[in-house]
Amino acid sequence: MALRRIQKELVDLAKNPPLNASAQPVSDDDILHWKGALTAPDTSAYKGGTFQLTIEFPPDYPFKPPSIKFTTKIYHPNVDDDGTICIGLLKTEVWKPSTKIADVLIALVDLLQNPVPEDALQSSIAQVYNSDRPVFEKTVREWVKKYANSK
């Protein structure tokens, strides 16, 4: 079931790629292991940044969510130091089998636009986000320039 579903989603992604996001298998031999990329929207503090992801589909996908991590360092309240992402959509108790990887990619692009400090993995970053937005945005720009291939 998982392989057929993932192959169908791969075809759908090629036909209708989500805005500011892409994903594909790392190799033809392993359809469960993907790499992805997010390009931050121009209206985001992360603008100019391209962020790489690893995407691991479980054997029982779509009944369990994929595991997704940032491999690009990012200063974000919802992403911890090892790239783990806190987003409601990927939580096992919230995940729905009807959710597609394109939906997840769109949600991750939105997370770049709209951090959720009340669901933070990095409470110190959330505190800066909530209390001093100019400092938060300055730090984001510095990290984008340093780590996310900013122009």
Q: Residues 61-86: what's their mean pLDDT?
A: 97
Report which DSSP code applies to 93: T
Question: Given this model, what pLDDT does residue 68 score?
Answer: 98
Instruction: Give residue 106's pLDDT band: very low, low, confident or very high (50, 70, 90).
Output: very high
Q: What is the pLDDT of residues 4-60, one digit of tens each?
A: 999 999 999 999 999 999 999 999 899 999 999 999 999 999 999 999 999 999 999
How many C-beta neighbours within 10 Å does residue 81 have? 9
pLDDT at 43: 93
pLDDT at 90 over 80: yes
**Cβ contacts of 4-11, under 8 Å, gap ≥ 24:** 5/61, 5/62, 6/31, 6/32, 6/57, 6/61, 7/31, 9/100, 9/101, 9/102
| Phi, psi (deg, nearest 5) at residue 73 | -60, 140
CATH class of 2-147: alpha beta
Please give the positions annotated as active site.
86
Q: What is the pLDDT of residues 26-35, one digit of tens each?
A: 998 999 999 9
Q: Which band of pLDDT confidence, cut at 50, 70 and 90, is reported for residue 149?
A: confident
CA dihedral angle for residue 112, residue 114, residue 117, residue 122, rounded to 10 degrees: 0
Domains of the chain: which residue ranges?
A: 2-147
